[in-house]
Amino acid sequence: MPKPKYKISLFLLNNLKFKLETKLSYQILTKFDCKKLSQLIFLETNKSVSESTIYRMFLLNENTNVPYIHTLDIFAEFLGFTYWFDLEKELYDLSDFQSLYGAFSDEKNYQSLLTFSIHAGNLKPIYNFFEQFPQELSFEKKILLGRQLFYSLKTNPSPNLPFFKQFNSLPIVREGFYEYFADPDFTIQHYDKGLLYYLETVKPHESNKSLQDFIFANSLLLRYYFLKRNKSKVLELGNLIYVDVSLTDKELQDLYIYPKIRYLAYRLLYLFMQGGFNHPYWEWLLDFAVNHMEAAQLYEKRMILHTLLDVLQINPAMQKEQLGVFSLQFKEIFALFPSNYNKLSIVEQVNYLNPNASNFE
């Protein structure tokens, strides 16, 4: 008896790919990515989905989206579901949610209503739209909203300042866009001004959340000005977050690992501007970070390694050496990467460690 097949819509297929990429922390873009996903699925489920099947489903434009039910069940198991039809319900829910803001399954050829509204500067309806969502909205839906905003603002032919000015205080925008979709490379027009708007209402010692917001935004700005070689701004921000608003041991301990590791790592950039590479501080930072790795989740471990290697761009020889050390010290992390990983440039290898959601544009 032939195995049953099951036709799925392009919307469901895209959301299945989204969930797989969220678990992988990198996009499925090449045959190498498909091969690695195939290997990881087998390691976790002891069941096989071939590299060619994954490639046909997610990367071939002529895809007809009629995989075997057996294949879909394996994807479901890999993502923590019992059967495909359990996963399908969640994918339908995500698709229904995307339809609220006029998203299309074929995002390469059609833009969402949300994107058109932002590009046209018609912001009042969008504000009302975002205002309706509760803080308890699921993580994945916040990610979908954040990703759509990231794309809309990055492709906006008009200035983004009106959006940043009006939307910086909305919780769903602060969390879904600013925090989940942070843009550390500042590829979005006026993103530096957007972070300043984000900081307007933040009082660092008012609460743990406020302190985290303060550290998060100012740390990104410090890194940005460092890469722009703006010494005066780096020293100004460094003095602000490392001297004027110094943290107690308790406040530092209570910070979530994302802002904490950025805060500590970017201090190396601040010290570099003051007098060159500070080897004693680097040794302390490395020891501190590695000690935090044991209790961290996988995506947190990747973020820690990425942040450490990212700041070492000020010392390329040490960056290359440390990448090699990490690849031996944390084999379980590097084993997740495609088989061509070692053939990539240092910049590309470091970026593969980056779990930041803005990689999923």
For 173-215, how does the pLDDT look when each residue is reduced to its tens digit (9 = 90+)?
A: 999 999 888 888 899 999 999 999 999 989 888 888 899 999 9
The DSSP code sequence of 3-38 is PPB----HHHHHHHHHHHHHHHTS---SHHHHHHHH
For 76-96, how does the pLDDT look when each residue is reduced to its tens digit (9 = 90+)?
A: 999 999 999 999 999 999 888
pLDDT for 2 beyond 70: no
Least confident of 100-109, 118-127, 346-355: 100-109
Residue where the block lists tokens 């990983």: 341
DSSP reduced 3-state for 68: strand
According to the model, what pLDDT value does residue 180 have?
84
Q: Give the bridge partners for 5, in sequence order.
A: 68
Residue 36 pLDDT class (50, 70, 90 cuts): confident
Amino acid letter for position 260: K
Least confident of 107-121, 155-169, 235-249, 260-274: 107-121
Length of the chain equals: 361
Q: Which residues of 160-173 are buried (b: 16+ CB within 10 A; e: fewer)?
A: beebbeebbebebb
Rounded to whole angstroms, how far apart are CA atoms 290 and 293?
5
Tokens for 282, please give them. Answer: 């680097």
Prediction pTM value: 0.83
> Residues near 243 by Cβ (< 8 Å), separated by ≥ 6?
none
Q: Which DSSP symbol is given to 343?
A: G
Domain spans of the chain?
1-100, 111-181+189-201, 204-276, 292-361
According to the model, what pLDDT value does residue 230 have?
97
